[in-house]
Chain A
Amino acid sequence: MDLDFTESENAFRQECRDWLEAHVPREPLASGDTREGFSQHLEWERKLFDAGWAAVSWPTQYGGREASLVEWLIFEEEYYLAGAPNRVTQNGIFLLAPTLFEFGTEEQKERILRPMARGDVTWAQAWSEPNAGSDLAALKSTARRVDGGWRLSGQKTWSTRAAFCDMAYGLFRTDPAQARHRGLTYFMFPLHAEGVTVRGVDRLDGDEGFAEIFLEDVFVSDADVIGETNEGWGVAMATTSSERGLSLRSPGRFMATAARLIDLHRRYQDRAGPALRDEVIRAWMDAQAYRWFTFQTVTRMMQEESIGADSSMNKVFWSEMDVRTHETALSIIGALQELDERAPSAIDDGQWMKGFQFALAGPIYAGTNEIQRNIIAERVLGLPRK
């Protein structure tokens, strides 16, 4: 065990810090989940890409730095500590790309990865359907074989930022004779093609962060199938496990939130009292617990151990920690907690209420925490399914 960072890891951290200090926008951008904010964020993403920071763990040929997992975690710590903007390329870089690295063809990687990381082509996930949420295998959208490709039909929903994105990916039923998770295929498809209608849906916090996608005989060529036909479930599960496991929410994000909470407490401690002080300490400690848990996980991954269903524990922990941390902040703010973004008297520009609303989504997305707890009980503890 060696929990010190190596010299080169420290040098990497310094390089991240220096670059971010010089380049992170001084004024916060508008929310990346609004049309206006989305394009502001893309400008920032381009800067990140051009300096080689968009996807540090990727091979250099796709614009990465071949950073180790530990270095990636270091980058994330520095990124969020510097107050850099949330990543609107997240669902491409951290969800689709890992799948492409594992299942994609050379042609697909060449064509898709660089524009994705540079924000030139933006990607939305299209997992859920109106009647397939936690029970994703109940999905009904279909892909029909035609000359040279497929025709997609059906409806996808809760598709993050799809109202502003260029492309999406998701599962479609290619063999209607097969039930549930069999007979599904993983497709990438355009959002601005004939037969596609995208309708933005305002989320709890008022941003148009969600969208519904309606597909009517949308043509997709064979080049946009990932993995084998009818094997899409396995391909998709690889993605959801990386989503929960690590790449969706690294510790750096929560360490930064805890640091901001400590700063808030410092400014308003007179009204906070000892119970809230304990909660502030707890928020900091939870972020530390998540950090060390993650370093342990990453060591296992670097030793080629599979982390499997352990990633479900990870997801439950960070999502519930994030809600608690924001609740503590709102309690410190007290009577003014209802003040929204841009309210003249809002403390920290209402970002805690905004963040609270975003945090509330955590236990729901990427597989609800109820489903995660089933997975933990069945696959880690070995409790019987029925």
Chain B
Amino acid sequence: MRFAFTDDQKMLRDTVREVLQRECPPEVVRAAWEGRHEGAKAVWSTLAETGLMGMTASEEAGGMAMTALDLVLPLEETGYAAWPAPIVDTVAVGIPLLEAAGTEEQKERWLPAAVAGRIRIVLSFEGQDVVAHAASSDLLIAERDGAAFCVPMAEVTVVPEQSVDRSRDLGRVSFDVGPRSRMRQDIDAGALLSLARDRAALGTAARLIGLSRRMLDMAVQYAKDREQFGKPIGTQQAVKHRLANALIEQEFARPLVYRAAWCLATSAPEAPTAVSLAKIYAGQAAQFVAKQALQVHGAIGYTIEYDLHMWMKRAWALAAAHGDAAHHRERIGRQIL
């Protein structure tokens, strides 16, 4: 039993953190809100140069054959920066799924480009046809009636939706469910898709932890700076306790996310339960921290011009994405009751 990351894993996190700090300040998120995605896409290219996009591909496919455990810290950083991009869809889920379930032709066409960071993949699981970043991506991997499909975005109809988090560039996807885009049929698609769903949920949980940490950082900084009654509001016990509660929620979610990553990385039999635990607690923490951060900021937090709202709205979106709390609680309930 040893619950700690390796130096290599932490180094990778630091690399991603530095890139995002430099290239994905709040202005880039704000630009995406206004329909300008160039900044967020430029980050994709820079991160591709570090090899991040190929992390989960096998070495034969030009990747690094890394696992959910290697990926969880970098994904947390993408949440911290609120980077608006389908990184979980592409790297945590899409590439491994394409490699495992793609036909030779599909792999040849898409895999090298995905590993090199030239294309972006988005996912649409059964019943989840409202997809973030669909219009600006290149390939859709979808589950319909238990079968897996790999559809070039040129053949997908995307009807714009509107997320409360505008930077998600949300759309409802549909496509012709034909044999041409069908993925391999000689394999157990059900098992692969269910693994893919768990990977998506875990990746989302990791981003949620990052979102929490950023919102808490903002609120703590604000509580130190903002003065009322002649002293920082952070000296008030009511404010302190609010932020202490936020930290507790966040810090008890975090090890669950890391543990779920380990379970996925090692194909542990308890992985599905671990992922559900992680997703529930990370989602709850992010939404709880968002609420506390808003209250601590007061009126300024309740505006569009201040940055906090972009993180809050991302938290609301991701907390329910890839299985909301009720869904995952039910999955656990069936296991333990």
Q: Chain A: residues with CB nearer than 8 A to chain B?
A: 1-6, 9, 70, 262, 265-266, 269, 277-278, 280-282, 284-285, 288-290, 292-293, 295-296, 298-300, 303, 310, 313, 316-317, 370, 372-374, 376-378, 380-386
Q: Does the CB pair B1–A381 fall under 8 Å?
A: no
Contact yes or no, B333 A277, CB < 8 A: yes
**Which A residues are CB-close (under 8 A) to B223?**
383
User: Taking each of A303, A377, A378, A385, which has the highest tally of chain B beta carbons within 10 Å of its own beta carbon?
Assistant: A377
B247 touches A313 (CB 8 A): yes
- Complex Cα gap A269–B333 (Å): 13
B259-A3 in contact (CB<8A): yes
Binds A, one of B41-49, B184-192, B199-207, B227-235: B227-235
Say if the beta carbon of B24 comes within 8 Å of chain A.
no
A9 to B4, CA, bound (A): 18
Could you say which of A5, A9, A289 contacts B256, with CB atoms under 8 Å apart? A289
- Chain A residues whose CB sits within 8 angstroms of the CB of B66 once the complex forms: none
Tell me the bound Cα distance from A179 to B234 in angstroms.
27
Tell me how far the C-beta of A9 lies from the nearest C-beta in chain B, rounded to whole angstroms: 6
Closest-CB distance, A103 to chain B (whole angstroms):
29
Residues of B within 8 A of A281 (CB): 329, 332-333, 336-337
Q: Which of B82-90, B141-149, B237-245 contacts A (4 or more CB under 8 A)?
A: B237-245
List residues of chain A with CB within 8 A of the CB of B255: 289, 292-293, 295-296
Closest to A383 in B: B234
Whether the pair A262, B1 counts as a contact (CB closer than 8 A) is no
The residue of chain B having its C-beta at the shortest distance from the C-beta of A269 within the complex is: B337
Whether A289 contacts B248 in the complex (CB less than 8 A), given A3-B3, A262-B337, A383-B223, comes out as no
Q: Which residues of B contact A4 (CB under 8 A)?
A: 1, 266
**Would you call A284 and B336 a contact (CB within 8 A)?**
yes
Contact yes or no, B258 A1, CB < 8 A: yes
Interface centre among A2, A282, A288 (most CB of B within 10 A): A288
B262 touches A293 (CB 8 A): no
* A265 vs B333: C-alpha distance when bound (angstroms): 12
Given A1-B4, A288-B256, A299-B3: A383 and B336 interface contact (C-beta under 8 Å)? no
B40 within 8 A of A: no
The interface residues of chain A lying within 8 Å CB-to-CB of B3 are 1, 3, 292, 295-296, 298-299
Q: Once bound together, how far apart are the Cα atoms of A380 and B213, in whole Å? A: 13
**Contacts A1-B262, A285-B332, A292-B255 given; does A383 touch B2 at CB 8 Å:** no
Query: Interface residues, chain B, CB within 8 Å of chain A?
Result: 1-6, 69, 216, 220, 223-224, 231-232, 234-235, 237, 239-241, 243-245, 247-248, 251-253, 255-256, 258-259, 262-263, 266, 268, 277, 280-281, 329, 332-333, 336-337
* CB <8 Å contact, A376 and B256: no
Contact partner of B1 (CB less than 8 A), chosen from A5, A285, A293, A380, is: A5
Residue among A285, A372, A380 with the highest chain B CB neighbour number at 10 A: A285
Chain A residues with Cβ below 8 Å from B69 are 1
Q: Are B2 and A385 in contact (CB under 8 A)?
A: no
Asked, given contacts A1-B262, A384-B232, whether A289 binds B240 with beta carbons under 8 Å apart, the answer is: no
Interface-centre pick from A3, A265, A290, A374 (highest chain B CB count, 10 A): A3
Q: Add 11 more A-B contacts to A285-B280, A381-B220 (CB < 8 A).
A: A3-B1, A3-B3, A4-B1, A266-B337, A281-B336, A310-B251, A313-B247, A373-B241, A376-B248, A382-B224, A383-B240
Residues in B with CB closer than 8 Å to A303 are: 4
In-complex Cβ contact of A299 among B4, B241, B245 (8 A):
B4
Complex A-B: 16 CB contacts under 8 Å: A1-B4, A1-B258, A2-B2, A2-B262, A281-B332, A281-B337, A284-B336, A285-B280, A289-B253, A289-B256, A292-B258, A299-B3, A300-B4, A316-B244, A381-B243, A383-B243
Q: Is the CB of B243 within 8 A of A6?
A: no
In whole angstroms, what is the CA distance A136 to B216 when docked? Answer: 31
Minimum CB–CB distance for A319 against chain B, Å: 11
Closest to B250 in A: A313
Question: In the complex, what's the smallest C-beta–C-beta distance from A298 to chain B, in angstroms?
Answer: 7
Contact A386 B231, beta carbon cutoff 8 Å: yes
- A2 partner residues in chain B, CB cutoff 8 A: 1-2, 262
Chain A residue at minimum C-beta to C-beta distance from B251: A313
Tell me which residues across on chain A come within 8 A of B239, comparing CB atoms. 383
Q: Select one of B4, B220, B263, B277 contacting A288, CB under 8 A.
A: B277
- Give CA–CA (A386, B227) in the complex, Å: 12
Contact A9 B234 (CB under 8 A): no
A297 to chain B, nearest CB (A): 8
